[in-house]
Amino acid sequence: MTDYLDLAKRIVENASVNGVQAEAFIIDEIETTIQLGNGDVEKLSQSGSKGVGVRVIDNGRVGYAYTSDFGDNAIEQTWKSAVELASIASPDDFRKLPQPAEIPAMDLEIWDPELQNVSTEQKIELMKAITQAAHAHDARLAMVPMAQYLDFITHVYLANSNGFAGSYSRTAAVSILMVVGRDGTSVSQAFAVKASNFFSDLDPEEIGREAAERVVSMLGGEAVPTQVCTVVLDPIVAGELLGAVSRALTAESHQKGRSFLINKLGQDIASDKVTLIDNGRLKRGLSSAPFDGEGVPTSITRLIDEGVFQNVVYDTYTASKDGVQSTGNAQRGSHREVPSLGISNLYLQPGTKSQQEIISEIDNGMFVTRIMQTGGIDPITGDCSMGAYGQWIENGKLTQPVSGVTIATTLQDLLKNISEVGSDLQVIPLFGSINTPTLRVDNVTVGGTQS
């Protein structure tokens, strides 16, 4: 069996001549996809993806080449192509490989040794159990047009000419359920998603119940009069909005002037209820790893601390431009891609109140369980307008389904007007991984019918 870390080292040794910097990235991944439609298996596939990418930096000039052929000739041609491409590229003095740093010894709990032993039949049975749980919860659940299971078994190997060499393995299992509810002539649609590094964490009763509760809660929805009020965002909706915020929290977006938070470092930009962290070392984090896509140790970066904008995330290139240290946020999804800057595990520090307690304190408002980005969310300007579905809140109780409305605010106001953060932290596999609870946001415009 090939020692891929040793192979990465040999590629680097061959490519790094005459002062040239070289890096070899190898990924070996198996992906399983199972899709059920109305209880029947519609798609079943298992694919292996294996490849090597070679990056060469010659006095700021970058060349990149990749291959999925691990034969000696193909490997040699790949690193030679990277060297040749670097020789004709435009120079950028900030392009360089990171210096090696000690990787903290810590079990991140991102490897499920049992996943590779879970049979295809067990995975199909899980999705059937989730579907059955959804139907059993409420007779108004008319159909489950799509139940999808995905898992990934990934091995990563990285070496560079500055002396770094390391590897790690990670697993992930994901369940997605799309459901349709019907009550008379009223029809609604919803979904539920659960993800974990560990297969055993996927609870079919919990996933099925959540999907059913979501879809039946929207049956019979009608628009409400246009007004400014409080909204409560369930964790999935909150995760979608924070995903947009995260794109304004990278050094690249600030260096290019493409963030609504330009020149706001050190200022109050959010409610003091908001502490937002990027944690590349979060235990059981879907995007956790001991080192990033360039070999820099991952870290915990406090982005917003009790409302104060403290930091952005960096990779080696953006850190070099700002004269700071990388936060270990170079992401790498494939051997076909050079590293790119991005969020790892975005983590909103939870509060102490349950979702029900938050709702019980609201006299008049909307509980939002689904959004559609009809107007869009712009992380550059902060503009934010979406179609919304959910339930109306009166005197602390959910009273009637709501649909056909828009909610409009700005990301600036959204952050400032978060008045409660729930205790029900949920992992949302978006933009890397987003960990967020229920949010209460005041002073949001709900656009519906004319009063």
Summarize pLDDT for 234-275 with one digit per residue, the tens.
Answer: 999 999 999 999 999 999 999 999 999 999 999 999 999 999
Judge contact between 230 and 442, C-beta under 8 A: yes
Judge contact between 372 and 358, C-beta under 8 A: no
Q: Mean per-residue pLDDT for 438-449? A: 94
What proportion of the chain, given as a percentage, has pLDDT over 90? 86
pLDDT of 375 higher than 80: no
Tell me the three state secondary structure of residue 342. coil
Distance CA 275, CA 349 (A): 6
Judge contact between 450 and 360, C-beta under 8 A: no
Check residue 448 and give its pLDDT: 85
Judge contact between 193 and 236, C-beta under 8 A: yes
Judge contact between 172 and 195, C-beta under 8 A: yes
C-alpha distances out from residue 303 to 268, 409, 419, Å:
12, 22, 19
Q: Phi first, then psi: give them for residue 20, nearest 5 degrees.
A: -80, 140
pTM: 0.93
C-alpha distances out from residue 321 to 7, 93, 157, 347, Å:
32, 9, 27, 27
Check residue 184 and give its pLDDT: 87
Q: Is 386 left (phi over 0), alpha (psi -120 to 50) or beta?
A: beta
pLDDT of 333 higher than 80: yes
Check residue 428 and give its pLDDT: 86
Q: Mean per-residue pLDDT for 2-26? A: 95
Q: Mean per-residue pLDDT for 196-224? A: 93
Q: Mean per-residue pLDDT for 337-365? A: 96
Check residue 431 and give its pLDDT: 64
Q: Mean per-residue pLDDT for 343-349? A: 95
- For the chain, the structural domain boundaries read 1-218, 221-451
Round the average pLDDT of the chain to a whole number and report it: 94
Check residue 451 and give its pLDDT: 57
Q: Mean per-residue pLDDT for 178-207? A: 92
pLDDT of 450 higher than 90: no
Helix axes 120-137, 204-217, angle to 10 degrees: 40
What superfamily does domain 1-218 belong to in CATH?
A: PmbA/TldD superfamily (3.30.2290.10)
- For residues 189 and 118, the model is more confident at 118
- For residues 319 and 333, the model is more confident at 319
Which pLDDT band, with edges at 50, 70 and 90, does 1 fall under?
low
Check residue 191 and give its pLDDT: 83
